[in-house]
A = this chain, B = another copy of it.
Amino acid sequence: MKLIIDTFGTDHGPESVCQGVMSALKKYDFYAILVGEKALVDRVAKDHGVSPDAYEVLETDHAISNHDDPARSIRRDPEASQVLGLERLNEGDADGFLSGGSTGALLAGGLFITKRIKGVDRAALTTTLPGKKGPFILLDAGANMDTSPDMVKQFALMGSSYAEVALGKANPRVGLLNVGAEPGKGDKRSKEAYELLQDAPINFVGNIESRDILENKADVIVTDGFAGNIVLKALEGTLSTVLTMLKEAVMSSTRSKIGGLLLKPALKKVMARFSTKDIGAAPLLGVQKSVFKMHGNSDAETVCVGIKNLIDYIDGGVTEKIRAKFIEEQDASV
């Protein structure tokens, strides 16, 4: 298996990405094509004792950043790391691409360079979140605004195929994010999407209220990118606020510091269940190739986990599953 990895774009810089790739080369069976500066890659490889036969470098010195216009840059900057990587992916000898850079650029590149699977109107970004009883998948996480009910259904088809592999669940339960649990709830889009999801070739379990989002009532939760992004960031924000306040309470007196120390192991154990440490990157679903996005704050360890996720995704044949799902769907609706 050949994987292309963008060394640019993460907060920790290219060296950290290279370190993650070298760790992964020692753990997993793949050939790496690193997009970045050869001198740096070679140095990190040598430090890790990785043979030059295990990788090659697609030389460039920059990426499309979050401040650039994504669609414009993808078309006009052929030397950007994302463009080089995706073009190489399109040539067909590599199996997947991983980048921690601009989400917009990856999305635009996925659409313009890699192209969509037939029947897919919009590629979607997923996010894997920690539920009480294990991870679940939310999409669209913010790539697409003003989606139609049919696009939400497409997210469900894609998310279901992805969850089979990422969560290892046959026939994953798919829920629709909504303002109430009963059918007939929600805005126009949600009501129409509900109807479409009932007839789709997936295991649709109905509406999921955001109050229950961490309760694992569904393996995949689908929604428009606006609502998906809002709910995702509300979770992040609330968690971060509560943890800050907890720390503040612990640090406020000697008594509470001792309390915090005594409580720490138990808290750590409970929190461990509530973790996404096995998820380092997530796919851009609906494009013809395996394109993965890692978070901008990914460190070397996360890069290594992200590479494992990409390998599993390719091994699991998710792109082919999605392709088959859309053919099945189109046949059914004829």
Contact = CB atoms under 8 A, between A and B. Distances in A.
A267 B260 CA distance: 10
A234 to B, nearest CB: 4
A238 interface: yes
Interface stretch (A2-10, A156-164, A245-253, A285-293): A245-253
Contact of A142 (B179, B258, B261, B262): B179
Q: Is the interface of A mostly helix, strand, loop or mixed?
A: helix
A143 to B, nearest CB: 10
A284 B296 CA distance: 42
A47 interface: no
Interface centre among A225, A235, A241, A252 (most CB of B within 10 A): A241
A249 B258 CA distance: 16
Given A187-B146, A226-B179, A230-B231, A266 B270 contact: no
Contacts of A187: 145-146, 224-226
Interface string A209-227: 1111111000000001111
Interface string A238-274: 1111100110111011011011111111110111001
A214 B227 contact: no
Given A145-B187, A177-B230, 13 more contacts: A132-B241, A142-B179, A179-B233, A211-B234, A211-B236, A215-B237, A238-B242, A245-B271, A250-B263, A253-B266, A255-B262, A256-B263, A262-B262
A213 B234 contact: yes
A239 B242 contact: yes
A99 interface: no
Interface of A: 132, 142, 145-146, 177, 179, 186-188, 190, 209-215, 224-227, 229-231, 233-242, 245-246, 248-250, 252-253, 255-256, 258-267, 269-271, 274
7 contacts: A179-B229, A179-B233, A187-B225, A210-B230, A210-B234, A212-B237, A246-B246
Nearest to A236: B211
Contacts of A186: 145, 226
A226 to B, nearest CB: 4
Interface centre among A239, A249, A250 (most CB of B within 10 A): A249
A239 B237 contact: no
Contact of A259 (B234, B253, B262, B271): B262
Nearest to A131: B241
Contacts of A214: 237-238, 241
A208 to B, nearest CB: 10
A80 B229 CA distance: 41
Given A259-B262, A270-B245, A210 B239 contact: no
A206 to B, nearest CB: 16
A263 B257 CA distance: 8
B249 A259 contact: no
